[in-house]
Structure 1
């Protein structure tokens, strides 16, 4: 599986310059993050607050408590929340582009 940096490099190498989302644009939308691990569980929730005040939530949970790592749970939950921003920003950009047609 390719990471965002590899995909972004290929897009730039191919000069695909039409309006689009970028990893940097996604990251610029995030103004705050908060995490919670539910007591007695491996469930980690991340709430990302976006510039407009909207929040997206991601979660992670280890199947086995023996495999639970708080730092890894936070990373996975944040990545899951961040991935949701792509769809929201994609919808917003498409709406703006449709308005100019």
Structure 2
């Protein structure tokens, strides 16, 4: 969970906004593994997050200047981008559940 997510979560809790919603902890609980690949000769890093149900979500990153490429940073950014996609998927699922209730 990022510091921005922590601050937002604290604000939501302080305001008593506790209707059904997604939380950073929920998003993280969906992830069971992460795999990374850097394409040879490029700065393109791909992160594949496997979710509890077996679905795979991907995120990418690429340095504009090869001189600035750092594999660790590339993995962090690709992971963050893949994780962001989970919010959308889980949000859709929650909305479906709420509509059916």
With structure 1 as the length reference, what TM-score do the two structures score? Answer: 0.96
Task: Spell out structure 1 runs of 4+ moving beyond 2 A.
Answer: none
Residue 61 of structure 1: aligned partner: 62
Residue 19 of structure 1: aligned partner: 20
Unaligned runs of 5+ in 1: none
Residue 44 of structure 1: aligned partner: 45
With structure 2 as the length reference, what TM-score do the two structures score? Answer: 0.96
1:41-87 residue CA offsets vs partner (Å, 9 max, x unmatched):
00000000000000100000000000000000000000000000000
Residue 86 of structure 1: aligned partner: 87
Unaligned runs of 5+ in 2: none
What is the aligned-residue RMSD (CA, Å)? 0.8
Q: How many residues align?
A: 99
- 1:71 to 2:81 alignment: no
